[in-house]
Amino acid sequence: MSTAVPEGNVAGRLSFVDRYLAVWILAAMAVGLGLGRLVPGLGDALAEVTVTGVSLPIALGLLVMMYPVLAKVRYDRLDTVTRDRRLLLPSLLLNWVVGPALMFALAWLFLPDLPAYRTGLIIVGLARCIAMVIIWNDLACGHREAAAVLVALNSVFQVVAFSALGWFYLSVLPGRLGLEQTGLDVPVGEIARSVLLFLGIPLAAGYLTRRIGEKTKGRTWYENKLIPRIAPFALYGLLFTIVVLFALQGDAITSQPFDVARIALPLLVYFAVMWAGSMALGRAVGLDHSRATTLAFTAAGNNFELAIAVAIATFGATSGQALAGVVGPLIEVPVLIGLVYVALYARRYFPAPAVPAPQEDPTHA
């Protein structure tokens, strides 16, 4: 899955697979929904074996999806990201203050009469993205190292803050505003296991692959030979994950189209506002296009795996809260893949990046 997109006619110069990526993703969604609707018991079978509350096939798909992208990260450059306060501070603000507050407001605005769906949406807003956002960022030519740092930062905050924010937005704040309150009891250990599974394993695998590959064969071989071989597995993992995800809830989604539409509307507003606002903020504080793109996608994406697992564990697999969690990726996947193309187009509104001096292969100096 190539992400080196030259200036000019972007679509015309992408590979066949990348050029029609939106088609493959929409087809995977359709296949998953069709399988879930037409094959009796398939969803139950896929959900029977779980890891940290998430279907094992989904977990495997996510690991395959994330590994190639994390293997592309140049870990020796991470220090330049960790020193960039113009990126880190806005990211923390957007992810842990603006995002949850916006989803809370939209859930109450659009779903005042549907408490189960409203609660499910608020849970989605609390689960900041640590997995699929890496794919969207890579496709949109975002800053790969910055994405790795921001995702790791989100992971730490997720373990520390998720339960507290759930208590605040579902119990404390509604009580202060005279609104209906809901309880949410999520063990910190369960969140930590989810983070370890969906980020820790592929991150360690990607780091070790680069470290060992560069040490034994050199950076030139690693970048030009190994990466092109493993890169397509990111797309395979993504499409497999989408098929399984929608097969799990295909019957529920297709049998309740009006409810899905009610849930979808605030999600559409959320993704559009978070992405566009984050992109504009990045431009305003002086970030280049690649880092502003990373800021936008890490702020707009959500950890639907964790949101679904929490909703199922707390309210049950057939609950309205769980359905709202499932509708999250139903809307997020096509919207964010569309925003990939918007991000590529938006490069013309950012200053051209400085051309870095050529660097020697550190292992073959």
Instruction: Encode pLDDT of 330-346 as tens digits.
Output: 788 889 888 999 999 99
CA distance 149 to 151: 5
**DSSP H/E element including 224:** none
Tell me the per-residue pLDDT of 19-40, one tens digit each, with 9 for 90 and over.
Answer: 677 788 788 888 988 887 788 7
Which of 10-19, 158-167, 221-230 bottoms out in mean pLDDT, i.e. has the lowest?
Answer: 10-19
Q: What is the pLDDT of residue 79?
A: 84
> How large a percentage of the chain has pLDDT more than 90?
32
The whole-number pLDDT of residue 100 equals 95
Q: Can you give the C-alpha Rg of the chain in angstroms?
A: 20
CA distance 269 to 274: 8
Residue 11: pLDDT over 60 = no
Q: How confident is the model at residue 6 (pLDDT cuts 50, 70, 90)?
A: very low
Q: Mean of the pLDDT values across residues 6-14?
A: 43
State the average pLDDT over residues 265-279.
96
Compute the average pLDDT of residues 346-357.
72
Report the pLDDT averaged over residues 263-282: 95
CA–CA distance from 154 to each of 158, 160, 302, 313, 363 (Å)?
6, 10, 11, 22, 32
> Alpha helices of 249-318 — where are they, by DSSP H?
250-255, 257-284, 289-300, 304-315
Burial annotation 166-199 (CB, 10 A radius, 16+ → b, else e): bebbbeebbeeeeeeebebebeeebbbbbbebbb
Which amino acid is it at 117?
Y
- Per DSSP, the residues of 10-21 read HHHHS-HHHHTH
pLDDT at 1: 44
pLDDT confidence tier of residue 12, bands split at 50, 70 and 90: very low
Range of weakest confidence among 86-90, 199-203, 321-325, 359-363: 359-363
More confidently predicted of 68 and 100: 100
> Which among 292, 300, 298, 296 has a CA at the least distance from the CA of 270?
300
Element (H, E) at 32: helix 21-38
**Stretch among 99-108, 180-189, 271-280, 341-350 having the lowest mean pLDDT:** 180-189
What does the DSSP 8-state code read for residue 351?
P
Q: How confident is the model at residue 189 (pLDDT cuts 50, 70, 90)?
A: confident
Mean of pLDDT values over 273-280:
96
pLDDT of 125 reads 93
pLDDT band per the 50, 70, 90 thresholds, residue 15: low
Q: Average per-residue pLDDT in the chain?
A: 82
Q: CA torsion 313→319→322→327, rounded to 10°?
A: 170
Characterise 110 by phi-psi region: left (phi > 0), alpha (psi -120 to 50), beta (else). Answer: alpha
Q: Which domains does the chain have, with CATH numbers?
A: 13-347 (1.20.1530.20)
> What's the CA gap between 207 and 211, in Å, rounded?
6
Q: How long a stretch of residues is the chain?
A: 365
**Residue 32 to residue 158: CA distance in whole angstroms:** 29
Tokens, residue 288: 């280049």
Residue scoring higher pLDDT (56 or 288):
288
Answer yes or no: is pLDDT of 361 > 80.
no
Type of residue at 264: A
| C-alpha count within 13 angstroms, C-beta hemisphere, residue 356 | 3
- Which of 13 and 122 is assigned the larger pLDDT? 122
Bridge partners, 55 (sequence order):
50
Work out the pLDDT band at 188, boundaries 50, 70, 90.
Answer: low
Category of 84 on φ-ψ map: left (φ > 0), alpha (ψ -120 to 50) or beta: beta
| Residue found by looking up tokens 């997109």 in the block | 5
pLDDT value at 362 more than 50:
no
pLDDT at 132 over 50: yes
**Which pLDDT does position 310 carry in this prediction?**
79
227: exposed, middle or buried (Cβ count in 10 Å: 0-12, 13-18, 19+): middle
